[in-house]
Structure 1
C-alpha cells in the first residue's frame, strides 16, 4: 500500500498526465526528485514523446528504495529517475535493474556511469551535504557558526540541530556513510553518539531540515546545498556551510526496472535522461552534472563545495547499507519524527 504522501503524488501525477492528449503508453516512474521539479522534467520529456505519459510516485530516497525492494517479486515501476546511485547499486545486486546503454551515454563523466557494459544505471547530477544555518535565529540564541562537522558536538548547539533519518532519507544516509568513511568506523559512530546529544529530532526528508531552518523553526539543519540555495534565493536568512573535513555526496541516477512491460518507452526515458537538455534542467538546482560542460554556476551555492566533496566509496555505502541503517536505528531512532 502506498504511503499517504505517495498517494498524493500519484494523484498529482495522474492529473498532470491527463493534460496530455491520448497518450499511448504510460510509464510508472519512481523518484526522489524534489517535487517542484517533477512537472518541469515531465513537460520536457513529453515535448519529445507526447505518446508517453509519466505517472510519478515520489517520496524520499529511503522510502522509495524500501518500496522497490518490497516489490522485488512483483515490480510496479517501469523506471527509476532521480534516486541515489547507492540505492541503485544495491538494487542492481538484487537483480532488479535492466542493463541498457542510453544513446549519448559517452558524453557523461565516467564516474556518473555504472561500471558494467552495458550499464545498469546512469547518473544525472550530484547532491552534496551541507549545513543550513539561520543567521537570525542563531543570533537570537547567541550561537556561533560552526565551521566543521566536529564543531556541531559543542554543547551550545544542544537542541538546536535537525538532520534527516538515514533509513528514510538518502541525504541522511550519505551523511552517515561519509562520517564513517571520514572518521573510520569506530570514530564515525563515536561522532554520531556525540551529535545525537545535540539533535532535536530526525526528519524523514532530506530537504526538511533546511526548510525548517529557512523558516526559522530551528537554527541549524543538516541537509544539502541544493535545498539551501533554493531557500536562500527565496529570501531566507541562511548561511550554507561546507564543513572543513569535507562533505558526503551522492548522485541522482536513472535506471530501468527489470521485467518492465514497457521496455521501449522506458529506454526512451533513459535516453532523454542523459541528454544535454536534461542536464540543463538538472542544472536548475544542481551545480555538479553528469555532463560537466553543461554546468553553469548556481546562485547561492557556497564556495568550496565541489572541492569539499570527499572521495566517496559508493561500493562501501551500497554493500554496507543494511548493516549501517540497522545500527543507526538501534542507537538513535528514538528522536525520529513519527512515520506517516
Structure 2
C-alpha cells in the first residue's frame, strides 16, 4: 500500500514538473516573450514609417508599450541634449539619420554598448566597432526632378547651379535634417564641390526648406523643378504616381545609414536590445524594404527603383572630421544662406 501510494505521489510530482516545463516553454514562444514595460523610442523617420516599425515590433513583443517621439534629427538631438542637461534623458532607443550624430553622442558618453547577434549579417564598415550604434539601412541623397517641368533629365549635380534652373531648386536645411547636415560636410570636403558649390547654389537662388519631405512636395507639385533629397522618398512617390524622377548624379552621392543605438541610462534596457535586434533582423530588414528603404542586411533585396550600395558611386569623408566640424559647417552655411 505504501509503495502504491509513493508511486502515485511520484507520478503527480512528475506531471507537475512536466506542466511547469510546458508552461515555461510556451512563455518563450508565440507572443509571450517575458519582455515588457514601457519603451521610449526617439526617431527622425517619417511618422508613418516609424509607426509601421513599432507595430511590427509589437507583434513580436506585445507586452512592450512603445512611446514614440518623432522630429528631424537635429531637433531630436536638441531634445536629448536638453534632457541630459536636466539630468533625465527620456529616450531608451534612438534611430536617426547619420553616424556623425551618433559619434557626438558617443563622445559625450550617452550611448550603451550593445553588440547584437544580428550584426554578423551587417557590413562591418557600417557598424561602430565599439558597439555603440549600427546602420539600419542605406539612404543616398540624390536629385529629384519634376517630369512635367523637365524634358531632358540631368545626370549631374551641376544642374542645381545652372542658369536654366535659377530659382527652380530646393534643398533641406542642415539645421533640421541630419542627412542635410551630413551632406554639407561631405560635399564641402570633396574637391569637385567645396564651399564654392554652396555659394553657387545661393547665387542660383536655391530655396532652403525644413526637411526632405518638404523638398519632395515642392518638386512633386511643380513649384520647383529640381531638388536635393534622400532617394527612398522619391522612389516611393514615383511608384504612387507622382510626376517625379530619381537621378543618381554621375559625380556620386553621399550616403547615410540611419543608425540605431541604445541610450546609456535606458530605463528598459532589455526591451531596447530586443528593439535593436528586431530592426537588424531579417524580418526587420524585409519590413524596411517593404516600406521602401534599401536594406543594410546582406541577402535582402532593395526595392524597385533604388540602387544598392554596391551600385552607388559613394562620396564620403572622414567621420571623425565631420563630427568635429559639424557646428562650424552649419555656421558657414548660415553665413552663405542666412538661415
Q: Same fold by TM-score, threshold 0.5 exceeded?
A: yes
Q: Partners of 1:136 and 1:264 in 2: how far apart?
A: 51
Match of 2:142 among 122, 130, 147: 130
Q: String of CA shifts for 1:165-200, please: whole Å, max 9, x gaps.
A: 11111221232122123227xx51111000112234
CA distance 1:268–1:287, change in 2 (3 Å): closer
Superposition map of 1:170-249 within 5 A:
170-183=178-191, 188-249=194-255
Q: Is the 8 A contact 2:98 2:182 kept in 1?
A: no
Unaligned runs of 5+ in 2: 1-34
Larger radius of gyration: 2
Counterpart secondary structure, 1:256: strand
**1:283 counterpart = 2:289:** yes
CA distance in structure 2 between the aligned counterparts of 1:182 and 1:95, rounded to whole angstroms:
30
3-state SS of paired residue (1:28): strand
TM-score between both structures, scaled by the size of structure 1: 0.83
Residue 286 of structure 1 and its aligned partner are, at CA, apart by 5.0
- Decide whether aligned partners of structure 1 residues 298 and 312 sit closer, same or farther in structure 2, where only a CA change above 3 A counts: farther
Give the CA RMSD over aligned residues: 2.1
Q: Which moved more, 1:146-155 or 1:187-196?
A: 146-155
Alignment of 1:318 onto 2:318 = no
CA contact 2:39–2:66 (8 Å) conserved in 1: yes
> Which stretch has the larger CA shift, 277-286 or 305-314?
305-314
Count residues with an aligned counterpart. 303
Q: Alpha-carbon deviations, 1:262-297, whole Å to 9, x = none?
A: 112212212222211111111125554321211x24
> Could you list the runs of 4 or more consecutive aligned residues of structure 1 that deviate by over 3 angstroms after TM superposition?
285-288, 302-306
Q: 2:161 aligns with which of 150, 153, 165?
A: 153
Relative distance call for 1:112 and 1:286 in structure 2 (3 A) is: farther
The Cα of 1:69 is off from its aligned counterpart by 2.2
Match 1:67 to one of 79, 86, 91: 79
Q: Secondary structure of the equivalent of 1:137?
A: coil
Moved more, 160-169 or 285-294: 285-294
For the 8 Å contact 1:248–1:312, the answer to whether it is kept is no
Looking at structure 2, the residues matched to 124 and 154 of structure 1 have their Cα atoms a distance apart, in angstroms, of 35
SS at match of 2:39: strand
1:113 aligns with 2:134: no
Q: Is contact 1:170-1:206 (8 Å) kept? A: no
User: Are the structure 2 counterparts of residues 305 and 235 from structure 1 closer, same or farther at C-alpha, using a change threshold of 3 Å?
Assistant: farther
Distance verdict in 2 for CA 1:83–1:241, change over 3 Å:
closer
**What is the CA-CA distance between 1:302 and the residue it aligns to?**
6.0
Aligned: 1:88 with 2:102: yes
